[in-house]
Amino acid sequence: MTDILSRLPRYNPRLVLLVLALALLVVNLYSWLGGRFQAMKTEIETNVVRLESYQRQKRDLPSLEARTRELKARAAVVERRLFTGAGEAEISSAMQIKLQGMVMAVGIESESIRPVAARGKAKGDDNAIIIPLVVKMRLTGTMPEFLDFLKLLYGDEKLFRIEAMTVRSYKKAGLKIFLEIRGYYQLNSGSGGLKEGGG
């Protein structure tokens, strides 16, 4: 550096050093400003993306609220179709009473109506929201009475499904009917009483 300065006698060495220091300062300042500008640009772009996302969400809010209302209405319909109570014993009793009422309404004679463990319930599935319960029925009656029973069963507000059915002729015009009917319930932890929901 001193060699270069010695070849340039007309320039003051201090002045040259000062100019070089100033040039380095300008370069560093420019570099710092460039980094700061890039950071500000990135921040602005991030804020623009957030704003656009917020505007999209705000625009979609009415449709999301409508979808939420629709899902709540569907959930209410499903809940009305389920038996609810504090425990399985209470619910199975209510289910038996409901089925016995249908049997009596159509004039079929019931030999046996008893609940059994549902095949669809997995072992250890105690956290299930909707739990199945199977009721086995042994009935005696005529074909018109049985058809009336089926009409009542599938027209009822509560959700029932026939899992298995065997029908045999009995005496002259009679039938021996063996049914496995699956009903569904959810546990009502809030109260100890059964809430059938109008059924």
Pull the structure tokens for residue 84.
């609810």
State residue 177's pLDDT score. 92
State how far the Cα of 183 lies from the Cα of 155, in Å rounded to an integer: 14
State residue 197's pLDDT score. 42
Task: Note whether 164 and 180 are within 8 A (CB).
Answer: yes
Q: 35-61: per-residue pLDDT in tens?
A: 888 888 888 888 888 888 888 888 888
Q: What are phi and psi of 120, to 5 degrees?
A: -80, -10
Task: Note whether 160 and 59 are within 8 A (CB).
Answer: no
State residue 26's pLDDT score. 78
Detail the DSSP E strand segments found in the chain.
83-85, 109-116, 131-142, 160-170, 174-187
Q: Are strands 174-187 and 160-170 parallel, antiparallel or unpaired?
A: antiparallel
Q: Which residues of the chain have pLDDT under 50?
A: 120-124, 191-199
pTM score, whole prediction: 0.57
State how far the Cα of 2 lies from the Cα of 16, in Å rounded to an integer: 11
State residue 195's pLDDT score. 41
State residue 199's pLDDT score. 40
State residue 6's pLDDT score. 58
Q: 76-106: per-residue pLDDT in tens?
A: 777 888 888 888 888 888 899 999 999 999 9
